[in-house]
Structure 1
Amino acid sequence: MQVSFTVLGEPKGKARPRFVKGHAMTPKDTANYETLVHMEYLSQCGDKKFSDDAMLDMRIKAYYSIPKSASKKKKAAMAMGMIRPTKKPDMDNVVKVIADSLNQVAYKDDTQIVDCQCRKFYSESPRVEVRIKEII
């Protein structure tokens, strides 16, 4: 089985938990983005869920906005993929927020992901494209 879906908007990363009176709290921005990923998965992939013992391969393409301040030449190079983002959020935090959002939705737990790739690009339409497939 394989599923693919897209989350429109600027890529976000998993923020560090905040501690309030000794309790860890997920920042509101992160919780909202996790909910968005969760809802986009359900709307685009329906109730498809991988089996609890499936080994999974996750591929993520994160498309960041092209800065308005960039020159025309630089914007063209960014759009063609010749210049790629070296800015936050870090790709490991992008993977973490996507993988955590899909726990109990696309799969039982993100520990089932045994192979993962995250690539960063610039685009006029910022988004995150996710593909998950079972390794057989």
Structure 2
Amino acid sequence: MQEYSIMIPGDAVPQGRPRVVRIGGRTIAYDPPKSKTYKARVRQYAARNAPKEPLEGKVMLEVRIYRSVPKSWSKKKHEAAYAGLIWPTTKPDVSNIVKGIEDALNGIWYKDDSQIVHEYSMKQYAREPGVIVKMWGGNEDEQSGSVQRESDSLQ
């Protein structure tokens, strides 16, 4: 199984709702500018540590989102957040950030994000904002069809 990882510094950007316009009777949907820019940045970092060809078969993804502590908080509250005693329960949602990252990795780390069979994601406060993304996949035995499913071995 192959493993790939990246660290994207800075604040994570959630996947925005697609914008829709009508041009000449056709409806066209496109990414909002912030989402489009962030996806391009994710692709840039992912391309530095990518397989020669996008992986086929199942992939597993881990996304760790690190957010800045609000500047208005007291020093005591800052330290509690860095210690993991306070978690960011405000927007943006983890799922919206992860969706943009999944889409950005299409065609670079894997052929399509539908290949993701297992995913772990979280957000927490940190001194430096950023996102760490890890992917595992490319099990050759699975691609040849000779992998036994875990549920089969439990019977």
TM range (shorter): over 0.9
Structure 2 spans left out of the alignment, 5+ residues: 140-155
1:32 matched to 2:37? yes
Match of 1:23 in 2: 28
Structure 1 spans left out of the alignment, 5+ residues: none
Structure 2 counterpart of 1:5, one-letter code: I
41, 55, 64: which is aligned to 1:51? 55
Size of the alignment, in residue pairs?
A: 134
d(CA) in 2 for partners of 1:93, 1:49: 27
d(CA) in 2 for partners of 1:48, 1:15: 30
For the 8 Å contact 2:64–2:133, the answer to whether it is kept is: yes
Q: Following superposition of structure 1 onto structure 2, how do residues 1-136 of structure 1 map, counting pairs within 5 Å?
A: 1-21=2-22, 22-43=27-48, 45-52=49-56, 54-134=57-137, 136=139
Question: Displacement, 1:2?
Answer: 0.6
Counterpart secondary structure, 1:42: helix
For the 8 Å contact 1:57–1:135, the answer to whether it is kept is: no
TM-score, L = length of structure 1: 0.92
TM-score, L = length of structure 2: 0.81
- Cα-to-partner distance string for 1:48-68 (whole Å, 9 max, x where unaligned): 54532x211101100011111
Structure 1 counterpart of 2:18, one-letter code: P
Please report the RMSD computed on the Cα atoms of aligned residues, expressed in angstroms.
Answer: 1.4
- Cα-to-partner distance string for 1:50-108 (whole Å, 9 max, x where unaligned): 532x2111011000111111011110011111111011111111110110000001110
Which has the greater radius of gyration? 2
| Residue identity (%) | 35
d(CA) in 2 for partners of 1:26, 1:42: 21
d(CA) in 2 for partners of 1:87, 1:49: 37
